[in-house]
Amino acid sequence: MEPEKRIPQDYEILDLSRAMSSLKREQIRKILELPDHRSFSIVRWYTPEEAKPIEATYIIAKLYEPGIGFICADAAYEHGRFWELDPSREAPLKTAHVLAWSYPPLDDRVDGLGRLRYLNS
C-alpha cells in the first residue's frame, strides 16, 4: 500500500472570487467611463422560472402593466407569490406580469456583480 499523502500545514487558501468580482467591476467601469468602481451598482435580473427569492423577503420586481408598459416596483415574495408593496392592493401580482426580479444593490444576498449568493452555496 502507498503511504498516505499528507497535505502540508503551511498552505494558503486564496479567495479568487473576490478578486474576479473586482476585476469584472473594473472592466465595467472602464467601458462606462465612470470615475471609480464604487460609483455604480449592478442589478442582475432573474426570471421567476430561473430562480426564486428567499421566502418572506423584499425585492425589486420588473413588471409589465397593460396600458402602462414596463415598470420596476418594490415588492415582496411570500408564500410562493409576488406582492407589490402598495397598501391599496390586497391581491398578489399576476405571475405573468412579473418578468424578472432582483434584490436591491448592496443587499447581503447579492455580490458586487448582482449574483445571488445563496445559489452558489
Q: How confident is the model at residue 49 (pLDDT cuts 50, 70, 90)?
A: very high
Q: What pLDDT, on a 0 to 100 scale, did the predictor assign at position 7? A: 47
Strands 57-65 and 81-84: unpaired
Predicted confidence (pLDDT) at residue 117 exceeds the cutoff of 70: yes
Q: What is the mean pLDDT of the chain?
A: 82
Q: Could you tell me the residue ranges of all domains in the chain?
A: 42-119
Three-state secondary structure call for residue 52: coil
pLDDT, tens only, 25-39: 888 888 888 887 677
Residue 20 and residue 10: Cα distance in Å, rounded?
Answer: 25
pTM score of the predicted model: 0.70
Model confidence at 95: pLDDT above 50 = yes
